[in-house]
Amino acid sequence: MFQNLPPHIVRMIASHVEGCSRLLFDGLRDDLKGRPDLLIPLLWICHNFRDTVYSQLCSRYSLYFDTDANSMACFWPGWPSRFNKRNHASYHLAKRLTLKLNMQTILSGKALEMLSRPPFTDGTFPRTRFIHFNIAWPRGQEREVDNATLLSDSETSIYAFVQRVKQLAPMVNHISVSPQYVTLIQHKTTIRLFSSLASQLFQLASCVEYRSSGMNIPVVLRSETLHGLTHITYDSKGYTVDVRGQLMQMVRQNAQTLQYLVIRAVVLIDVAGLNQDVDGNYIKYPNLRTLKLELRKSTPTIHRPVASGVAPFPNLRHLTINDHYPFGDDIAFRDNSTTLEYLCIMPRRDTCDMLRQYRVFTPSSHPKLQCVKVSGLPDDAPNHFQSTDLFTQFVLNIAPGASVRDIAISEPVDDTFHALDNLQSHTCIQVLVLPDTVLPLWFVVSLIKWLPLLSNLHCLSIYADPLTEEVSLDEVHTYVQSLCSLKYRQFRCLRLNKANSPYFEQIVMCIAVVTAICPNFNHIALPSISHNKFMTVLEEAIESGKYEQYKPHLQRLLFWK
């Protein structure tokens, strides 16, 4: 049967398996990375699946240049270590390529020499669309080159290296450059050569990215080199105030072309210049689609007055603001209500007050908003969201008329059934991720009744307490009908306590229902005092014949125990 499936159907199945693995391991994230290794069981189904899985496992390839040994270490990051190494014929499957090398390796011509050896031939990476260059200039190797001939030779080596990269990956459209260990480099020649390399690499692609971390200073590059960037990622940790100011100037310089911006700052003042330059002129980012602000130190919010007509991010689709919301008004939400699709933010009191004050979310105001994620636990919401008002006004009423389909809350929700009660109005929800929250069984059933489109519920565990689970046996059949409509469900464990109760049999039956529906239901935590009674109820239910339709699932539970 599987052997005759069309290739596009096979790819869809593999994509679905990988998608489920993302949710299982990562919850809802805006930068989802698949788990190709979880596709390995598909290898044994048929040849069609084998080809698809191999192409996924070989989609990333890395080259590490060892200058001292005059050799390269080549490997597939996604390839399982227990498998035999892939041969050279698999190079054509690589979609993402990483080159980690020393700047001196390029200038000396050794990098070009290594890339000209077998098995590397012209067009070795025909499918590669993305190349990341991790380029180091170790301390102690920087020097001035006053000799014009030596400088010319270095420029020639850079040009030859870039042209070789172009030959190997002719279809590349995204270039990323990340310099390392250049913090102390101030020599003019160093700046010139590094700028020349970056500039020529950026000319190979339409999408160009500059990544900065605390170990490098992007200002060593000439300003013209950093013009026209589409992606910028920088971390200001360890930088001086002057350098951080130049980093922000680099961002503003590329405002017209930026599509993706990540700023990992130490204090809020680091993002103060995002919307205004030093002369007070407002900056607009017309093409920015993704904005991530990760602030790491508790400092007061920026209350700089901003003109009401200023909208710096009019086409924003993905917005992630970890820890503090850095602005004192709604400037991050202006004029993008019809484009915003994903929101990840921490519900601090001042953030909630700002959203309410400026009426950011009103009925039907965000028709494309599909995913809302509550990230982290704010310091001003002690005891895990016991402040129900704070929790509900931020998440559950965030877009009453919008088509929010996915909600993720990355911290435990203690007062669950009160805090989540307003979910009844969000009938569009398809995915609910509560990875650190324990849910009572009766509440799970309530969610299913409230949310007719719910297809994926991810929670830490479910517990069934016979003293509170007053469930009639007639309702068990209703549960089965509701649960059977779900496509996928993830429950990690089930706890059953206080077995001395008249409702114990009903709870055991509910467990059987959950077992029937949940493919990943793999653990029942039972106190020793109730284990024997649980077994007895299972055996009696099987023998009675009253639950014939649940018999396979009851036997499955019995087998597990």
Question: Does 247 or 107 have the greater pLDDT score?
Answer: 107
Three-class SS state of 16: helix
First vs last C-alpha separation in the chain: 35
Q: Is the pLDDT of residue 35 over 80?
A: no
Work out the pLDDT band at 493, boundaries 50, 70, 90.
low
Q: Is the pLDDT of residue 394 over 90?
A: no
Nearest to 392 by CA among 364, 361, 368: 361
pTM: 0.73
What whole-number distance in Å separates Cα of residue 83 and Cα of residue 35?
16
What whole-number distance in Å separates Cα of residue 197 and Cα of residue 103?
9
What whole-number distance in Å separates Cα of residue 111 and Cα of residue 281?
45
Nearest to 49 by CA among 101, 19, 92, 4: 4
Tokens 């009019």 belong to which residue? 314
Nearest to 120 by CA among 76, 88, 75: 88
Q: Is the pLDDT of residue 532 over 80?
A: no
What whole-number distance in Å separates Cα of residue 135 and Cα of residue 114?
16
Instruction: Calculate the alpha carbon distances from 276 to 36, 37, 237, 312 in Å.
Output: 43, 46, 22, 10
Q: Are the beta carbons of 99 and 144 closer than 8 angstroms? A: no
Please tell me which of 197-211, 405-419, 436-450 the model is most confident about, judged by mean pLDDT. Answer: 197-211
Q: Are the beta carbons of 341 and 312 closer than 8 angstroms? A: no
Tokens 């290794």 belong to which residue? 37
Q: Rounded to the nearest 10 degrees, what angle do helices 528-544 and 551-560 cross at?
A: 150
With a pLDDT cut of 70, the percent of the chain lying above it is 56
Helices vs strands, H then E, count in the chain: 16, 18
Q: Is the pLDDT of residue 169 over 90?
A: yes
The single-letter DSSP state of residue 422 is G
| Type of residue at 385 | F
Q: Are the beta carbons of 537 and 504 closer than 8 angstroms? A: yes
Pseudo-torsion of CA 228, 232, 235, 241, nearest 10°? 30
| Type of residue at 84 | N
What whole-number distance in Å separates Cα of residue 342 and Cα of residue 337?
11
What whole-number distance in Å separates Cα of residue 170 and Cα of residue 205?
10
Tokens 């849910």 belong to which residue? 439
Average pLDDT, the chain: 72
| Averaged pLDDT, 500-528 | 62
Instruction: Calculate the alpha carbon distances from 108 to 116, 143, 158, 221 in Å.
Output: 14, 14, 9, 21
| Type of residue at 251 | V
The confidence score (pLDDT) of residue 27 equals: 40
What whole-number distance in Å separates Cα of residue 130 and Cα of residue 369?
29
What whole-number distance in Å separates Cα of residue 21 and Cα of residue 33?
10
Work out the pLDDT band at 172, boundaries 50, 70, 90.
very high
How confident is the model over 205-264, as pLDDT tens digits?
988 888 876 544 544 555 556 778 899 888 777 666 776 777 788 889 899 999 999 988
| Type of residue at 418 | H
The confidence score (pLDDT) of residue 42 equals: 66
Residues 6+ apart with CB under 8 A from 501: 466, 467
Question: Does 523 or 169 have the greater pLDDT score?
Answer: 169
Q: Is the pLDDT of residue 29 over 50?
A: no
Number of residues that this document lists for the chain: 561
Q: Are the beta carbons of 247 and 232 closer than 8 angstroms? A: no
How confident is the model over 123-166, as pLDDT tens digits?
789 999 999 999 887 555 555 555 556 678 889 999 999 999 99
Instruction: Calculate the alpha carbon distances from 218 to 37, 233, 241 in Å.
Output: 36, 11, 14
What whole-number distance in Å separates Cα of residue 471 and Cα of residue 443?
12
Question: Does 538 or 26 have the greater pLDDT score?
Answer: 538
What whole-number distance in Å separates Cα of residue 233 and Cα of residue 407?
27
Q: Are the beta carbons of 444 and 414 closer than 8 angstroms? A: no
The confidence score (pLDDT) of residue 386 equals: 37
| Type of residue at 430 | Q
Q: Is the pLDDT of residue 381 over 60?
A: no
